[in-house]
Chains A and B, each alone.
Chain A
């Protein structure tokens, strides 16, 4: 199958590869992680977002999958940077399909990237939920224990 130039470009120079976990300057409470797919299906994406002041300040990914899956997740990290969580949650797989010129057989790669974004946002919100609840109860903002 012939790949589009954009897929090849992302595959050869993937953006934002890695993890925040080993970055000492990143507070774990700022990070949301989406891990989607399955090794038995031939693709697994892990997308991490770092949220500051309600905006996605940075993103990281690692992907086990074909070139199109790698390109989808690389592109996704670029797209979501600077977005609010709500904006990022609106990203549809069709945006990725268009941007990377996917043939029909590769559409599932873009779906996986959309799922990864949503899962990362959900994970981040879950982490924030106890603190938000504590805040609304009028308690003093506690330093996150998992820092």
Chain B
């Protein structure tokens, strides 16, 4: 009960955070002994790590996580880089072993079609709706549809009314 109830606020604030508290030590992410001597290679390792999910964590990349599995994966990434793999080869190597779940950026494919296309579709739908609304209501010259007879009369009455008690013009 205690554990559960505590979790609620945790979840409320940030589930990403939760992991930090659940793990044994609060130390985070990349440890000094993991860092590769070659800065270029290390930068690539960091970049790759940011895109790989720590599988036992809630929603953290292996670069952020201090779970033992994340450390293993970080070391694996660096090993593959040292062996001369390209970035995409490293990612594929990990994906082959841990499945698509490990990728924080899901690939563009059949089942993620809606995921990737929703932003575009909603944007187009919004623009189309706006375009349709403008076209339907305002002619290209910007003129509004002609007034009906009743509206004309009302307008004339209003204008006459306005003229009779027009306030002095403010400059």
Say whether A and B bind each other.
no
Residues on A close to B: CB < 8 A?
none
